[in-house]
Amino acid sequence: MLLIVDPNHWLDADGNLPEEPRLRRRVLRVARFIEYGGPLPEGSLRETLVECNRRPHRKACPGLMWVRKEPDDSIVAFCMICKQDEMVIHSWQETLWAEGMMEPILERELPALH
């Protein structure tokens, strides 16, 4: 079943992840797809290190998920191996993960952040 996801439903006012462990795991999966897919140009795609969680014929799918940026700016997460679309993410643009991986921080500058 294809999920239509608006991550803002699960984030607090500051955009942080929920604390409840099960929900947190689910939203983290969405956040990873945003981090990989947000920076993509429209119509392009990339592989992620997020594992497919489908079990076709009761065997775990060995695939890694891919993300694709759609013409309407939504992000589709899908598996090339079992050929399943897992979710379509919209309204992700204002989330903490929209710009992709965080920029590197020099270790010597880290104490200044505390």
Could you list the residues that contact Zn ion (CB under 5 A)? 52, 54, 61, 63, 79, 81-82
SS3 57: helix
Contact 61, 52 (CB under 8 A): yes
Q: CB nearer to Zn ion: give 81 or 98.
A: 81
Min CB(49)–Zn ion separation in Å: 14
Shortest Å, Cβ 89 to Zn ion: 18
Shortest distance, position 66 Cβ to Zn ion, whole Å: 10
Q: How far is CA 95 from the centre of its chain?
A: 11
When the beta carbons of 34 and 52 are compared against Zn ion, the nearer one is 52
Q: How far is the CB of 32 from Zn ion (least distance, A)?
A: 16
Kindly report the length of the chain: 114
Q: By C-beta, is 23 or 60 nearer to Zn ion?
A: 60
CA 92, 99, 37, 105 dihedral sign is negative
Q: Which are the contacts of 114, defined by CB distance < 8 A and separation ≥ 6?
A: none
Nearer to Zn ion, 64 or 98 (CB): 64
Report d(CA 114, CA 98) in Å as an integer.
24
